Each structure stands twice: as structure tokens, then as C-alpha cells.
Structure 1
Amino acid sequence: MAETERLSPRPSTLDEDAFVACYGDVYEHSPWIARQAHRAGLSARDDTVEGLAARLAAVFDAADAGAQLTVLRAHPDLAGKLAVGEALTADSGAEQAGAGLNRCTEEEFERFQTLNAAYRARFGFPFIVAVRGLHRREILQAFEARLNNDANTERATAVAQVNRIARLRLAARAGG
């Protein structure tokens, strides 16, 4: 199982700059999370997917509301840029393509655009879900259901999904 697999290079052996270069991108455009995790000190436990994911999540979870909101807003709209050929981060592009978001029908694409706009208007950040293992129809269903959440519930859900995305990205790097 990838979660208990050791990461390579081992996080606890890296200086701050090397650590941020290797792991600073698991939270979308937010290397400060990796930097703070490194500054707090890393141990051999952080050399596993599970350990490093927990360490990074603790930093993100402890961040103030403004910093968390900045991370949430760093995420792309689903089936947005990818569907029209614009660049995403390598991780986001692969994740969205893996869920088939680059193969939306015209109707699905329009539905994503409508939901993206409604969600951003309601919550102030893009809809975030760990898409790995999901089909675009499942993502649309989750999108529609979560639009009914209150602001606090949805923000907590988005933060949890960002942490899940980071864990999945680490697992992929460990070969899982």
C-alpha cells in the first residue's frame, strides 16, 4: 500500500529548499505549506506517504482562514481550462484528464460551467473534489449536492478534499 511506502527522496533527509522543491507542489500553488512543515521539523515518520500527508495537512488545517481561502482559490475550476486546452499544473491536468473531464460532451461541459459559476458565486472559491477514481458523472452529482451545503460545511469539505488531493499526489509519487 502506497501510504506506508517510503517517499523518495526521503523528506527527513532534505534541507528546506530541496524539500520544498520536491514536495512544495502537492498543495496547489502553495509551497508555503511544505516550507512550514519543514521548519517545524521532520522525522523518519514523515518519510512515508501517511506521515508526510499528515504533517502537511496539520499545517494547512492550522492556517488562518485567509491562508486557507488562498489555497482553495488556487485550485482550478473543473472542466474549465482543461476542456478548452489551457494549461493546468501537471498534477491537476492529469487528475482531471483521468476523470474524463477533457472528454466532456457539450452538454456536460455547459453543466460544469454553470455549476462552476454558481459555486464560486455562493462560496467564493472553486468546487474542489479529489477526482481520482471518479467519473465525470459522479463529479457532477457531487457538485450539485454540495451546492446545497451551508458555507461552513462546504469550506470544511473543501479543506478536507484539498488534504485528500495532497495525500493522493504523495501516494502517486510513491508508486501507488
Structure 2
Amino acid sequence: MCTSALTQSLVRRSVRAGHVTNHKYPHINMDIDAINALPCEDFVNIFGNVVEKCPLITAAVWSRRPFANLTALEAAISEFIDALPESGKEGILRCYPDLAGRDLQGDTLTRESREEHARAGLDALSSGEALRMSRLNWEYKVRFGFPFVICARMNDKANILQQLTERCRNERTVERARGIEEVKKISHLRLQSLVLPDAPNAPNKL
């Protein structure tokens, strides 16, 4: 069976079991068995933007299957990131867009980032807020060499502006670590939209 046909079969199985909220698989909640059975190409197609624009991380994590549950899948992603050298971690941070920046204005954000911007109200800034955000984003990147990263879905625009102001004063090592913490928060929420949650007291499938 070709990879696309296999994926469709797995999705149909999850639909019958009530485990899929949308038949378009980039927007589904798949069970862990279906995820473990995915070929690499389809796994990357579905999870390739859990870490923004980093499908190579997803491809590497695929080789660690089978996953016992959502928690194990998330842990595999975090462990891969943690094992990277500092330059690699900064490379991940550089894959994230400036908040309310050029990608938003040019409508070139990824689907996930666009939704996250909207949740935080970053697509509806006043002219004064937009000017302040642009200036602070520029100051942050000049100081640290990578963009400001924060989990927009856990914050509103006022809090984001406040944190951006405060974090501009930190040291580079502090901000690198803080940025990676925020990457993991973003990844956690993106995974939750794709994978069924772990059932309480569920037995380990491995």
C-alpha cells in the first residue's frame, strides 16, 4: 500500500473509532497507534510544523517510534531539541517569525502562526502598538541575533509587549534558554491539536 493510501486507511480507522475531528489529516486528532503506523513522509507532513519550519526535527523523531502516548511523543521532540548545540537551538529560534511583523503583513505566516497571532490579538494592533512592537522586535534581534519567541496562545498582546520590553534586558544565554522554553510550549499546544490526549490511568501500550 502506498504511503498516501496507508495514511487514508489509518485516518478512516480513527474516524470509525471516533478519534478524528476532521478528515483532512493536518487538522485531525489521531490516536497513538495510527501515528506509530505512519510512514516517515506522512508523519512529517502532519507534524512537520510542530516546531516552526523544522521538518527535519520531525523526521528525526519519527525514527524513535513507537511512542507509548502523546507524552512520549512530546518528550522525544524536547529531548531532540535539548541535545542540540547552542548554535542549533539558536537556529530553531530563527525559524520563528517576528511577532506582528513582515510575515503577518505579507500574509506569509504558517497556518499555525497565523492562528496563534489571531488568538493573542496580534493581528489587530493599534498603530502605536504596531510601531512599538516593530521597534522592540528590531532591538531584540540586534541584541541577541535571533527573534523574540513567546507562546502567543498563552498570552495577550499587552503581556507580549511587556515581556518583550523586559526580556530585551536579559543576557544572551538567558534568552536562548527562555526562547527554547517558549518553543516547547508552542509545540505542546500544536501537538494537542493533532494527537488525542492521554487517557487518565491508561496502560502503557509498549
Alignment TM-score > 0.5, same fold: yes
1:149 aligns with 2:170: yes
Q: Which amino acid aligns with 2:97?
A: P
Shift of 1:163: 1.1
**Larger proportion of helix:** 1
Larger Rg: 2
After alignment, is 65-74 or 128-137 more displaced? 65-74
Alignment match, 1:43: 66
Shift of 1:65: 2.2
| CA–CA distance in structure 2, aligned partners of residues 83 and 24 of structure 1 | 20
1:14 aligns with 2:35: no
Query: Unpaired segments of 5 or more residues in structure 1?
Result: none
SS of the residue corresponding to residue 102 of structure 1 reads coil
| CA–CA distance in structure 2, aligned partners of residues 125 and 83 of structure 1 | 18
Deviations 1:91-112 (A, max 9, x none): 0011011100010000100010
Contact 1:24 1:34 in 2 (8 A): yes
After alignment, is 162-171 or 66-75 more displaced? 66-75
1:140 aligns with 2:161: yes
Contact 2:54 2:92 in 1 (8 A): yes
Deviations 1:138-175 (A, max 9, x none): 10011111111111011000011111101111112247
Contact 1:83 1:103 in 2 (8 A): no
1:106 aligns with 2:127: yes
After alignment, is 127-136 or 5-14 more displaced? 5-14
TM-score using structure 1 length: 0.88
Alignment match, 1:89: 110
| CA–CA distance in structure 2, aligned partners of residues 152 and 92 of structure 1 | 25
| CA–CA distance in structure 2, aligned partners of residues 172 and 8 of structure 1 | 9
Query: Unpaired segments of 5 or more residues in structure 2?
Result: 1-18, 21-28, 198-206
Q: 1:23 to 1:83 in 2, by over 3 A?
A: closer
- The aligned length equals 169
Alignment match, 2:13: none
RMSD: 2.0
Shift of 1:11: 2.4
| CA–CA distance in structure 2, aligned partners of residues 12 and 67 of structure 1 | 27
Deviations 1:55-102 (A, max 9, x none): 111111111222222211010001113552431000001101110001
Alignment match, 1:61: 82
TM-score using structure 2 length: 0.76
SS of the residue corresponding to residue 125 of structure 1 reads coil
Alignment match, 1:31: 55
